[in-house]
Amino acid sequence: MEKASKPASNAQADAKRMEKSTRRSQPMRFEEHAEWHRLSQAIRRQVEACVEIDADPEAIAGFAERAHALAEELEAVARGKRVGLVESGWDGTGSMHYLPFSPIMGRLNPASYGLEIHQEGQRAIGLVTLGETAEGAVGLAHGGVISGIWDEVLAAANAIARTGGPTGSLTIRYLKPTPLYEPLRYAAWVERIEERKVLARGECTLNGEVLTEAEGVFIRLRQPGIDWHKREEQEP
């Protein structure tokens, strides 16, 4: 069978990815970055407040000026983080906060939704209460946000099973609307492991009622590990 070719990419984008990757040479230990976490939490609060502002234009203009000033300060030192994308030493702790910069669960990413994942037996359990930044229809979570959460929780189930890799396909069944401000519980497990694929399933419940179900097919790498994305030359 003819080997699939990689998609064409922009040389400038390639160079930028390589530069970022090269800088990330130090191990990531979340406990060493308390002030970074405080900054992320503060900015997350600002993002959440921004989508619910009810103020006069003059007040909003003042907020905008101060926000732009802070943005310029941060951009001046945003030369690229020196730590890896995966938390060191997370395995075996029961907690699965292994992706501190994830847009879904990252504690150092102000844009994340605050998903908490832990291990129960061979299952990954995700807990989250979504607010206005995840809103689609009035009072309900956006379907794209739900899909992103599922990708994260299913991948965590793969990590528990010491397998997995890039997402091949993701199927979500939206059985009932997912409300905001409610404690959601995601549970995921590995259903089947084949030579080159992993099938993971899960369900999201609220007070015992199933809201969504998910099925993910993941490409199983020859060298398993949650930090598979570091191995850019690894064939799927």
Flag whether 3 is in a domain: no
Across the range 63-91, mean pLDDT stands at: 91
Is pTM beyond 0.75? Reply is: yes
Six-digit token pair at 147? Answer: 């899909």
Flag whether 150 is in a domain: yes
Flag whether 224 is in a domain: yes
User: 138: domain CATH number?
Assistant: 3.10.129.10
For residue range 93-119, list pLDDT tens digits in order: 677 888 999 999 999 999 999 999 999
Flag whether 84 is in a domain: yes
More confidently predicted of 217 and 18 = 217
More confidently predicted of 56 and 6 = 56
60: how many CB neighbours lie within 10 A of its CB? 13
Residue 230 has pLDDT above 70, yes or no: no
Flag whether 236 is in a domain: no
Q: How many domains does the chain have?
A: 1
Flag whether 124 is in a domain: yes
Q: Give the helix ranges, DSSP H, for the chain.
A: 11-23, 34-50, 57-77, 143-160
Across the range 185-191, mean pLDDT stands at: 98
What pLDDT does residue 152 have?
97
92-96, 127-131, 179-183: lowest mean pLDDT where? 92-96
Distance CA 200, CA 215 (A): 6
Flag whether 2 is in a domain: no
Flag whether 29 is in a domain: yes
What range does the domain containing 152 cover? 13-230
pLDDT band of residue 233 (cuts 50, 70, 90) is very low
b/e 3-32 (16+ beta carbons within 10 angstroms → b): eeeeeeeeeeeeeeeeeeeeebeeebebee
What pLDDT does residue 22 have?
85
Query: Residue 89's closest CA among 27, 35, 32, 159?
Result: 27
What is the number of alpha carbons within 13 Å of residue 20 lying toward its C-beta? 10
Residue 39 has pLDDT above 80, yes or no: yes
Across the range 26-39, mean pLDDT stands at: 94
Q: What element of type H or E holds 131?
A: none
